[in-house]
A = this chain, B = another copy of it.
Amino acid sequence: MNKPALHLNLVVKDIADEMRRRPDRGEVASYIPELARVDPKHFGIAVFDDEGNLACGGDCDMPFSIQSVSKVFTLTLALGRYGDRLWQRVGREPSGSAFNSIVQLEYERGVPRNPFINAGAIAITDMILSGHQPREALGEILRFMRFLAGDATITIDEAVAASEQRTGYRNIALANYMKSFGVLDNAVDLTLGVYFHQCAIAMSCKQLAMAGRFLAHNGRNPATGMSVVNPERARRINAVMMTCGHYDGSGEFAYRVGLPGKSGVGGGILAVAPGKASIAVWAPGLDAAGNSHLGRVALEALTKRLGWSIFGA
């Protein structure tokens, strides 16, 4: 192991140790009953640097529900199919409101503000579904995740999907509301079926960090050499993650961590240090804005110690 990699390794271990000891863990998401059962004591972290070195700590091999982190990947998929026409259906401005807010949709006639709030992600999934059966669309999303992570064992946690399907009233409301404005093309229950399943994909920090590498390296996964998107698109996805990736905590995340990132209510965060690393953290307890509390704290410590913020040289 070379010297920078060694240093990275030490920092990651330190942070994992420190996080394990901290008492402030936030609240595990309760609105999806199956997620509410996850132990708030988990913490995992995995970092792939630009040379392919992997540093990890804590429960970095334990799969968790990626939930809204999936939105980065469905956005990538949909951009591949629709190109910039996608932005006619979904905006790319921060919402200034909660992840599941419906107010903005009424004032802006059903067009979601960005692809990372729930409404926007449902609209993106609806675009992926168009012309396909739900099973096919879901298969495409899952294959894409497996391809990016280089791991064919990634699956969907059906219990989580079923749990959300039973209780996801807010998302059903959002989808029907958009449908009333003609923003969705497919039957609402089909679109939501795919959406709930994509959110229920289970991945470990290692798998997630691997899947996100293309965003850190101009659209190409350096491990495989395969180009996923062109460099400009990679930059732009990162930009949307920066301004919109943490709902109404996006400003806070930019301020403290200084990297583009996307959180999920399962407690995962994917963060991207352009040119340097792809990072995944997992800590199930959430803060008031619905983002992983210790996940954010860990990323703040990491970028500070490694000088990885994109806002300073």
Contacts and interface: CB of A to CB of B under 8 A. Distances in A.
B248 A254 contact: no
B311 A310 contact: yes
Nearest to A170: B180
Interface residues on A, range: 35 or more
Contacts of A180: 31, 169-170, 173
A244 interface: yes
A264 interface: no
A217 interface: yes
A105 B173 CA distance: 12
Nearest to A289: B93
Interface stretch (A133-141, A155-163, A230-238): A230-238
Contacts of A48: none
A73 interface: no
A11 interface: no
12 contacts: A93-B94, A93-B249, A94-B96, A96-B113, A102-B103, A169-B176, A172-B172, A172-B176, A232-B304, A234-B311, A240-B255, A274-B312
Interface of A: 31, 50, 91-97, 101-107, 113-114, 169-170, 172-177, 179-180, 188, 216-218, 231-232, 234-236, 238-240, 242-244, 248-252, 254-255, 258, 260, 274-276, 304, 309-313
